[in-house]
A and B are shown apart, each in its own frame.
Chain A
C-alpha cells in the first residue's frame, strides 16, 4: 500500500531563515500533490497544488517542488516568520477521477523569534 512520510515530526528554525519540509512517498507517483497548513484546533487550509508534470510552483513566500524520480516533494517557506508556525501536511491524489487525497502525517514547524 502507498506510504507517505514527512521529514520529521517537528522542525525548529530561526525567524528569517528558509524552512524546508519534505514529503516522500513509495510506489507509484500521484497525479496531484497538495500542501496544507493546519493550526491547533482548526481544519487544514489549502496552500498549493502541483501536478506530476510540473517541477515547481510558487506563491508569495512559498515554493513547492515535485520530483517523480526521487518520489519526493519539497515545500519551502522563505523569510519565515513566527506566524508561519503550524503543522504542514502533504496530500497525494492518484489518476482516478474523483479519488480522494491521501494525507501524510504532517510536520510541526516552529519559527523562533
Chain B
C-alpha cells in the first residue's frame, strides 16, 4: 500500500460523455502526476500538478484537464470521451516536483471503459 488512493475503481461510460477521476495523494506529498495506460502498453504521462497549478503536460489533447485542491488531492477530467480513452488511469504522488522520480508512488488506478 502506497497511501495514494483513487476513485472510482472501475467506470463504464459511453462515447461523447464526460468523466471525472479522483486521486488523494500520500500524506506530505504536494505533487500529483496522472498517467494513462492502455492495454498492453506502458503508462503515458498526461500532466502534473504542483501546489494547485499544472506543472507539465504530455502529448494529450485539451479535453484532458485537471485540478489540484489545497489539500493536494487531484481530479482528472476527460470530455467528449472516445473509444481509445479506454485505459487504466494512474495517479502518482511525490513529495517534490523536482529531482529523480524514485519518490513517486502510484495509486491503484481507475479502469475506464468507453463503449
**Is B one of A's binding partners?**
no
